[in-house]
């Protein structure tokens, strides 16, 4: 790396992941620049979720390296890992809000316990984030009183409140009814405008066209092709990507 190049916010190097016998990721290299939105597509089982989950070590990589703003995620002590995870926000397909806590408390919990922010500061920050996702008025609602789209937006606020360097989205809208998808995508679009660095695994191709800086196509645990959205969607090179795209557009039609 030369000094002239700015440090990638997220740097995945030669990442491998095996589950027992099955090799799920083979030598993944992916750098995400500051403020970049990388959109990941690929057939089911191609390893997209596994790659994201390796980035904050919800899955333990078999080998390779991951750096966030130049600092290693792997081979660090447990305490340090908890601190590093604060820099990597994650949004799950299933939301996973804490059902026993209000929306506000969901957003303050890690701020208080992991970041040790004082209560007042954590709550102020939480309200600010809830406002950002359009749910300030639902601060005192329990997750069970929120729609799926609202729950997902609270989950985004929960991650954002920790001031992560990069946000990982694993099919954030796949569990939502179609009419609720838009509200979540809008929040993600706003985030991007605000300069957040993001990796998004999703099937919302329209969103990719509009918002992605780069689209990465994965299949069989490798990155088969990557490029700007217009290239990937308009001029796919590999047969596998062509097949995938025609299958997806077939489904959509």
Binding residues for Mg ion (CB under 5 A)? 49
Cβ neighbours for 71, distance < 8 A, ≥ 6 positions apart: 84
3-state DSSP of 158-213: HHHCCCCCEEEEECCCCCCCHHHHHHHHHHHHHHHHCCCEEEEECCCHHHHHHHCC
Part in contact with ligand ATP (CB under 6 A); list of ranges 48-56, 121-129, 140-148, 157-165: 48-56
Residues numbered 99 to 138 that lie near other proteins (CB under 8 A) are: 99-101, 109-110, 113-115
Residues numbered 174 to 213 that lie near other proteins (CB under 8 A) are: none
Is residue 94 within the footprint of other proteins (CB under 8 A)? yes
Candidate residues 25, 32, 38, 88; the one interacting with other proteins per rule CB under 8 A: 88
Closest CB to Mg ion belongs to which residue?
A: 49
CA dist list (Å): 214 to 40, 78, 195, 229:
9, 33, 15, 6
177 binds, among ligand ATP, Mg ion, other proteins, none (CB under 5 to 8 A by kind): none
d(CA 7, CA 34): 8
Cβ neighbours for 161, distance < 8 A, ≥ 6 positions apart: 107, 108, 110, 111, 122, 125, 126, 129
Is residue 48 within the footprint of ligand ATP (CB under 6 A)? yes
Part in contact with ligand ATP (CB under 6 A); list of ranges 45-53, 70-78, 82-90, 181-189: 45-53
- Give me the residues that bind other proteins (CB under 8 A), please: 56, 58, 78-79, 82-86, 88-90, 92, 94-101, 109-110, 113-115, 144, 155, 158-159, 162
């Amino acid at each position: 790396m030369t000094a002239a190049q700015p440090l990638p916010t997220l740097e995945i190097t030669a990442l491998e992941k095996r589950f027992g016998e099955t090799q799920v990721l083979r030598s993944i290299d992916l750098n995400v620049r500051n403020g970049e939105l990388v959109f990941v597509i690929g057939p089911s089982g191609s390893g997209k979720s596994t790659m994201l989950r390796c980035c904050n070590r919800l899955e333990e990589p078999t080998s390779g390296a991951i750096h966030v703003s130049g600092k290693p995620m792997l081979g660090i002590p447990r305490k340090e890992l908890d601190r590093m995870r604060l820099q990597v926000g994650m949004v799950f397909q299933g939301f996973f809000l804490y059902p026993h806590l209000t929306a506000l408390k969901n957003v303050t919990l890690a701020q208080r316990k992991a970041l040790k922010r004082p209560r007042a500061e954590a709550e102020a920050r939480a309200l600010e984030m809830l406002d950002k996702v359009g749910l300030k008025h639902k601060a005192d609602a329990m997750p069970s009183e929120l729609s799926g789209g609202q729950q997902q937006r609270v989950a985004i606020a929960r991650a954002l409140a920790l001031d992560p360097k990069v946000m990982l989205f694993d099919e954030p809208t796949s569990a939502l009814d179609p009419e609720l998808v838009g509200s979540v995508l809008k929040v993600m679009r706003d985030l991007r405008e605000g300069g957040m660095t993001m990796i998004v695994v999703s099937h919302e191709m329209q969103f990719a066209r509009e918002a992605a800086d780069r689209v990465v196509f994965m299949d069989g645990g490798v990155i088969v092709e990557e490029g700007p959205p217009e290239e990937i969607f308009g001029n796919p090179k590999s047969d596998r990507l062509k097949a995938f795209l025609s299958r997806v557009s077939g489904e959509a039609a």
